[in-house]
């Protein structure tokens, strides 16, 4: 498990109030007891979570389009949290958390708290010896299932056909998740746009929580 914290120093997010006001600070409690979403957002609203939100392009566009939803962007790299923070600076319904995605899904999001997850272009780790670094595993999908509300969704996109097949196979053997139609038009993420421009096929999968697993 890797926990990443915002570095202190002149250039850190802590010193840049306009950037950091929507970045959830790390505290002992928030990292072990879970996120207090109502406090963090200052309101109750359905939660959408962008896992590995990168530069925040997708997150900011979708949050602007859906002001009645709360959005949480999770990202492990400081530079990308910074870019995301700049993009969401004027959006009241977005918060950012710099942490490892699977840890957040497994330990920080309470059961039945998420309406929709987005996992757009997770690192594919194409070499066989690196496959164990991939985020989508049976345990990860079990955690996603637990965190979703009934009927909640996870959207997954990848340009890597081998990874897509593996994700689909893992999803099919996960109890309580079923393939769903993708009937919404989502904004393009930064990586999505690059792949579109290159003409690279993008493989999409939407999974719906169909039943609670006890």
Ligand X SMILES: C[S@@+](CC[C@H](N)C(=O)[O-])C[C@H]1O[C@@H](n2cnc3c(N)ncnc32)[C@H](O)[C@@H]1O
Give the shortest CB-76-to-ligand X separation in angstroms: 4
Give the shortest CB-133-to-ligand X separation in angstroms: 8
55 noted as active-site residue: no
CB closer to ligand X out of 60 and 189: 189
Q: Is 180 exposed, middle or buried (0-12, 13-18, 19+ CB in 10 A)?
A: middle
CB closer to ligand X out of 53 and 108: 53
Check residue 11 and give left, alpha or beta (phi > 0: left; psi -120 to 50: alpha): alpha
CB closer to ligand X out of 70 and 101: 101
Interface residues with ligand X (CB under 6 A) are 52-54, 74-77, 80, 100-101, 120-121, 123, 135, 189-192
Give the shortest CB-52-to-ligand X separation in angstroms: 3
Marked catalytic residue, from 123, 151, 160, 183: 123
Q: Is 157 exposed, middle or buried (0-12, 13-18, 19+ CB in 10 A)?
A: buried
Residues assigned a catalytic role:
123
């Amino acid at each position: 498990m890797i926990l990443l914290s915002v570095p202190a120093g002149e250039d850190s997010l802590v010193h840049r109030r306009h950037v950091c006001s929507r970045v959830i600070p790390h505290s002992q409690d928030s990292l072990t007891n879970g996120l207090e979403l109502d406090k963090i957002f200052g309101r109750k609203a359905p939660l959408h979570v962008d896992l590995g939100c990168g530069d925040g392009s997708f997150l900011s566009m979708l949050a602007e389009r859906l002001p009645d939803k709360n959005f949480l962007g999770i990202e492990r790299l400081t530079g990308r949290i910074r870019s995301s923070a700049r993009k969401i600076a004027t959006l009241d319904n977005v918060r950012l958390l710099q942490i490892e995605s699977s840890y957040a899904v497994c330990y920080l999001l309470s059961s039945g708290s998420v309406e929709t997850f987005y996992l757009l272009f997770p690192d594919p780790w194409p070499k066989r010896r690196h496959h164990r670094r991939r985020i989508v595993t049976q345990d990860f999908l079990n955690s996603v299932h637990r965190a979703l509300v009934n009927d909640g969704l996870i959207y997954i996109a990848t340009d890597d056909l081998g990874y897509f097949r593996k994700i689909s196979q893992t999803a099919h053997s996960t109890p309580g998740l079923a393939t769903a139609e993708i009937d919404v038009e989502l904004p393009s993420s930064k990586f999505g746009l690059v792949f579109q421009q290159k003409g690279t096929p993008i493989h999409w999968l939407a999974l719906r929580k169909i039943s609670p697993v006890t």
